[in-house]
Every structure is written in C-alpha cells, then in structure tokens.
Amino acid sequence: MCLWGNNDYLWMIDSRDTGGSTIANLSGDANDEMDSWANKSNTYAGCMWSDANGSGDRQALGLNSSDNNVSPANSDEVSSWRTAHAC
Ligand SMILES: [Ca+2]
Ligand SMILES: [Ca+2]
C-alpha cells in the first residue's frame, strides 16, 4: 500500500507491505499530508488515522482500491496507518 502527499499519486510519503498489523506513525514532512492512496492487495484492507498511534478520524484503504483525491474533510490529516485489519 502506498500513500502520497498530493493528488494523483504524486509525492510518495510512505509505502508498506500489505498485511502489517503494526500501526506506523507518519513523521516530519510526511505527517498531515496524505491526499491520495492505493492498495493493491485483494487480501488486506488498511486503515489511516488522523492522529498518531491509531487514534482520531479514520479512513479505510479498501481491498484492491485507490483514491486519487480524498475528500477535503480527509485531506492533509493522516498521521498513522496500518496495512491490515481494515478500520
Ligand atoms: Ca497534501
Ligand atoms: Ca494528523
């Protein structure tokens, strides 16, 4: 799964293998920047949170899905994510 800081899959800010249950925090320039994402897995759905360590507002990374421009309410807020267990 990959996260990008701009729309249309530009400026990759993180990528992780699918199936990762550990919640990873985004730090530095990657924090509060996600605007597009992709999940190439048919097995694992992920989750992103607006705050560190899996707290706050949630956004799912659905199976075999992508979003080239998340809604304004979800833009520039993601601070942590995992690549398994959905939300
Ligand atoms: Ca952004
Ligand atoms: Ca945040």
Averages of pLDDT over each 10 residues, the chain, 87 residues: 98 98 97 98 98 98 98 97 98
Q: Which CATH architecture best describes the domain 2-83?
A: Sandwich (2.60)
* pLDDT (0 to 100) of residue 31: 98
* pLDDT (0 to 100) of residue 52: 98
* pLDDT (0 to 100) of residue 66: 98
Q: Which ligand is nearest to the CA of 48?
A: 2
Cβ atoms < 10 Å from Cβ of 82 = 23
* pLDDT (0 to 100) of residue 48: 98
The CA distance from 66 to 68, in Å, is: 7
CB atoms within 5 A of ion ligand 1 belong to 5, 33, 35, 76
CA of 48 to the centre of ligand 1 (A): 14
* pLDDT (0 to 100) of residue 46: 98
CA of 80 to the centre of ligand 2 (A): 8
CA of 64 to the centre of ligand 2 (A): 25
* pLDDT (0 to 100) of residue 81: 98
**Cβ partners under 8 Å of residue 69, min gap 6:** 7, 8, 35, 36
